[in-house]
């Protein structure tokens, strides 16, 4: 593996921007950084208290920025509605007053089941102001995944819509004994309370609850890519990392127009779709609609987006649509583009550089880490295919654990598990009801991520694959990412997933599932051509032995390819937890 990966054909130098990057010199910031200093940039509350919502809104209103637009909501219809920091302050105060008046108290778990509508954002921040725990659920979940997540988190209150309640909640309500209140944002229905009249009657002022930095603030469920989703607990202290990583990794600055395309039902849509953009006093764009190529290019251009944070699945769909889809639109205001959630193939980074005059900056983190841990920065060279370098304040390493003994691998390009030294503010404080699993994630002072990676001589990290997905074929370790990236280079390929299948002689053989670009027809010739291409790039031991064409690949609703499902189906094994499965195309 050492010979094949980590040799990026191109290095992309930082592109010229009108303003200097927040972090002009990675090395200098890394050596001077401290979390204590990062925290001192925030306000805090008297007596050592800290509340995310105060840092996100109240702090800016108090310093005279109440009139700045905080949230620009684009409805499915295309209509725009602006909410200033002052509006958000008042509305979230009202929401916190509503919770209090209905007996929802500090520490209670408040869930949302809503699309990307303003009520969701108001509920999130109002919940935090009230000292309650915010837990967003993805609105496309069915009743069973909703029930499971509400039961394990002990949900006490829920904000949803009439339609979602009737379709998904009414049947499970009786099985949620802790659930005392269900508010509906668009009128009431049997068993729910209409939120609007309560909001109208509520006071504009609210004395924010003085939460301890270690009080639980957020509950997020993982994507369920490798198995049953885990409930991850985060505390108010996490805001220190949200704020600092927003500034250093996403280069956010006050006054920017910022668009994070993630839904708050997943951690990215909360950490970087609500908290970091507000603590950094940007104007954040929220689009209610689902992905659409033309709409997205339209938003980037019409809203004059400065910083854009999206995901590989969407990027691959943009590439698939071709440059023609951009038409006459230009993006002179776009300063920084970042990607997270899945490995970002080098092809996609280079495509962005050709198309936008700047690369996508890949970054790596997890629901568990609460914030970005490894990233490509605005002022640093980008090596396409690499996740970048650890955030200042983060110590990352490559380790192996054999017979209970952990060894750190320091040689360049040694492959092992990506591990982090715990201690940053947004690290999870627990897996709900899964203490043993939580304990198992730590060893000898390291947090073990479950992902495999390598670090090159310059300190850049390279993703290999999830530990579960590693393939051992005829004595070679094969990371799915390198095989997928090689196939992605071929002009016919839109998307690809690689797995290992048991084989008597080789141990495992590599199989690829390929979705083709529109207009390309599958054929045996194309299959052979793709195998030939992979052999040339990777050598016969690593190239796939077999390629199957698929219309779509199975993905989680957060956009991650579910390789485990491809494998289970291929082998006729049980599919396991598929509560987060989105496109189901066997």
Kindly list the residues in this chain that would bind Mg ion in the complex (CB under 5 A).
222
Smallest separation, CB 466 to ligand ATP (Å): 5
Smallest separation, CB 223 to ligand ATP (Å): 3
Q: Which one, 118 or 554, has the nearer CB to ligand ATP? A: 554
Q: Which one, 87 or 469, has the nearer CB to ligand ATP? A: 469
Smallest separation, CB 392 to ligand ATP (Å): 18
Smallest separation, CB 229 to ligand ATP (Å): 5
Smallest separation, CB 529 to ligand ATP (Å): 28
Site for ligand ATP in 323-362 (CB under 6 A): 340-344, 362
**Between 453 and 482, how does the x/- string for binding to ligand ATP read (CB under 6 A)?**
----------x--x----------------
Site for ligand ATP in 535-564 (CB under 6 A): 558, 560
Q: Which one, 215 or 263, has the nearer CB to Mg ion? A: 263
**Looking at beta carbons, which residue is closest to Mg ion?**
222
Element holding 405 (H helix, E strand): strand 405-409
Of 366, 376, 473, 579, the residue at the interface with ligand ATP (CB under 6 A) is 366
Q: Which one, 75 or 467, has the nearer CB to ligand ATP? A: 467
Q: How far apart are CA 357 and CA 200, in angstroms?
A: 48
Q: How far apart are CA 462 and CA 6, in angstroms?
A: 7
For residue 564, what are the contacts with CB-CB under 8 A and spacing of at least 6? 225, 226, 227, 468, 469, 576
Q: Which one, 384 or 480, has the nearer CB to Mg ion? A: 480
Query: What stretches of 128-267 adopt beta strand conformation (E)?
Result: 133-137, 157-160, 181-184, 193-194, 216-221, 231-235, 257-260
Smallest separation, CB 366 to Mg ion (Å): 5
Smallest separation, CB 224 to ligand ATP (Å): 4
Smallest separation, CB 312 to ligand ATP (Å): 8
Backbone phi, psi, residue 451, to 5°: -105, 150
Of 169, 208, 387, 509, the residue at the interface with ligand ATP (CB under 6 A) is 387
Q: Are 270 and 264 in contact (CB under 8 A)?
A: yes
Smallest separation, CB 383 to ligand ATP (Å): 13
Q: Which one, 341 or 425, has the nearer CB to ligand ATP? A: 341
Q: How far apart are CA 279 and CA 194, in angstroms?
A: 30
Distances (CA, A) of 556 to 140, 329, 565, 572: 11, 31, 10, 20
Q: Which one, 6 or 265, has the nearer CB to Mg ion? A: 265
Binding partner at 390 among ligand ATP, Mg ion, none, C-beta below 5 to 8 Å by kind:
none
Smallest separation, CB 428 to Mg ion (Å): 11
Q: Which one, 83 or 463, has the nearer CB to ligand ATP? A: 463
Q: Which one, 257 or 363, has the nearer CB to ligand ATP? A: 363
Binding partner at 343 among Mg ion, ligand ATP, none, C-beta below 5 to 8 Å by kind:
ligand ATP
Q: Which one, 183 or 351, has the nearer CB to ligand ATP? A: 351
Question: Please, where are the H alpha helices in 238-311?
Answer: 238-248, 267-270, 276-279, 293-302
| Region of 129-137, 220-228, 234-242, 272-280 interacting with ligand ATP (CB under 6 A) | 220-228
Under rule CB under 6 A, residue 226 binds ligand ATP:
yes
Strand order of the β-sheet with 69-74 is 80-84, 69-74, 283-287, 257-260, 307-310, 336-339, 360-364, 374-375, 389-390
Question: Please, where are the H alpha helices in 421-523?
Answer: 435-440, 480-488
Strand order of the β-sheet with 216-221 is 193-194, 181-184, 157-160, 109-113, 133-137, 216-221, 231-235, 430-431
Q: Quick one: which of 511, 23, 528, 519 has its CA closest to 252?
A: 23
Number of helical H runs and strand E runs in the chain: 19, 28
Under rule CB under 6 A, residue 370 binds ligand ATP:
no
Q: Are 495 and 514 in contact (CB under 8 A)?
A: yes
Q: Which one, 96 or 340, has the nearer CB to ligand ATP? A: 340
Smallest separation, CB 577 to ligand ATP (Å): 9
Q: How far apart are CA 168 and CA 182, in angstroms?
A: 13
| Angle, helices 312-321/293-302, rounded to nearest 10 degrees | 100
Give the up-direction half-sphere exposure of residue 225: CA atoms within 13 A in the CB hemisphere: 21
Site for ligand ATP in 419-458 (CB under 6 A): 449, 451
Smallest separation, CB 465 to ligand ATP (Å): 8
Backbone phi, psi, residue 563, to 5°: -65, -35
Q: How far apart are CA 235 and CA 213, in angstroms?
A: 7
**Between 285 and 324, how does the x/- string for binding to ligand ATP read (CB under 6 A)?**
----------------------------------------
Binding partner at 364 among ligand ATP, Mg ion, none, C-beta below 5 to 8 Å by kind:
ligand ATP
Q: Quick one: which of 140, 152, 200 has its CA closest to 179?
A: 152
Q: How far apart are CA 447 and CA 556, in angstroms?
A: 25
Smallest separation, CB 243 to ligand ATP (Å): 20
Q: Which one, 126 or 269, has the nearer CB to ligand ATP? A: 269
Q: How far apart are CA 368 and CA 388, in angstroms?
A: 19
Under rule CB under 6 A, residue 229 binds ligand ATP:
yes
Binding partner at 342 among Mg ion, ligand ATP, none, C-beta below 5 to 8 Å by kind:
ligand ATP
Under rule CB under 6 A, residue 183 binds ligand ATP:
no
Q: How far apart are CA 502 and CA 380, in angstroms?
A: 42
Footprint of ligand ATP (CB under 6 A): 222-227, 229-230, 340-344, 362-364, 366-367, 387, 449, 451, 463, 466, 558, 560
């Amino acid at each position: 593996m050492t010979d094949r990966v980590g040799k990026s054909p191109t290095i992309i130098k930082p592109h010229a921007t009108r303003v200097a990057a927040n972090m002009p010199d990675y090395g200098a910031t890394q050596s001077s950084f401290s979390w204590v200093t990062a925290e001192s940039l925030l306000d805090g509350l008297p007596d050592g208290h800290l509340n995310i919502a105060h840092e996100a809104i109240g702090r800016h209103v108090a310093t005279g920025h109440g009139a700045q637009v905080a949230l620009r909501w684009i409805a499915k219809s295309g209509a725009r509605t602006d909410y200033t920091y002052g509006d958000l302050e008042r509305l979230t105060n009202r929401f916190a007053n509503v919770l209090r008046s209905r007996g929802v108290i500090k520490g209670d778990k408040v869930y949302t089941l809503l699309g990307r509508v303003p009520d969701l954002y108001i509920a999130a921040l109002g919940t935090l102001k009230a000292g309650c725990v915010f837990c967003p659920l993805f609105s496309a979940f069915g009743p069973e995944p909703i029930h499971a997540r509400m039961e394990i988190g002990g949900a006490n209150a829920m904000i949803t819509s009439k339609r979602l309640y009737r379709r998904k909640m009414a049947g499970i309500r009786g099985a949620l004994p802790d659930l005392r209140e269900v508010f509906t944002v668009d009128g009431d229905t049997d068993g729910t309370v209409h939120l609007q009249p309560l909001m109208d009657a509520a006071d504009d002022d609210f004395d924010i609850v003085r939460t301890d930095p270690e009080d639980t603030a957020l509950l997020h469920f993982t994507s369920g890519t490798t198995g049953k989703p885990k409930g991850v607990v985060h505390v108010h202290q996490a805001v220190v990392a949200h704020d600092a990583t927003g500034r250093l990794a996403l280069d956010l600055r006050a006054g920017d127009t910022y668009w994070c395309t993630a839904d708050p039902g997943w951690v990215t849509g909360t950490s970087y779709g609500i908290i970091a953009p507000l603590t950094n006093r940007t104007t954040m764009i929220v689009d209610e609609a689902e992905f659409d190529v033309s709409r997205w290019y339209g938003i980037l251009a019409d809203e004059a987006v400065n910083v854009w944070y999206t995901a590989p699945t969407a990027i691959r769909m943009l590439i698939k649509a071709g440059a023609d889809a951009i038409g006459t639109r230009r993006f002179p205001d776009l300063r920084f583009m970042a990607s997270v959630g899945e490995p970002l193939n080098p092809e996609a980074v280079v495509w962005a550089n050709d198309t936008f005059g700047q690369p996508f900056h890949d970054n790596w983190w997890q629901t568990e880490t609460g914030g970005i841990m490894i990233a490509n920065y605005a002022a640093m060279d980008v090596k396409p295919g690499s996740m970048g370098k650890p955030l200042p304040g983060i110590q990352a390493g490559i380790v192996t654990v054999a017979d209970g003994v952990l060894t750190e691998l320091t040689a360049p390009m040694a492959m092992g598990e990506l591990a982090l030294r715990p201690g940053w503010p947004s690290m999870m404080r627990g897996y709900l009801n899964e203490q043993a699993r939580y304990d198992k994630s730590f060893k000898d002072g390291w947090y073990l991520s479950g992902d495999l990676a390598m670090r090159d001589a310059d300190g850049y990290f390279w993703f290999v694959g999830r530990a579960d997905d590693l393939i051992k074929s005829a004595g070679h370790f094969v990371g799915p990412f390198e095989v997928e990236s090689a196939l992605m280079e071929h002009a016919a390929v839109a998307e690809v997933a690689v797995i290992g299948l048991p084989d008597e002689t080789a141990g495992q053989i590599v199989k690829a599932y390929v979705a083709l670009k529109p207009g390309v027809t599958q054929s045996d010739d194309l299959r052979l051509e793709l195998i030939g291409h992979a052999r040339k790039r990777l050598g016969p031991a690593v190239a796939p032995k077999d390629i199957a064409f698929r219309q779509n690949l199975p993905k989680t609703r957060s956009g991650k390819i579910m390789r485990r499902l491809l494998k289970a189906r291929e082998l006729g094994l049980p599919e396991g937890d598929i509560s987060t499965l989105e496109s189901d195309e066997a």
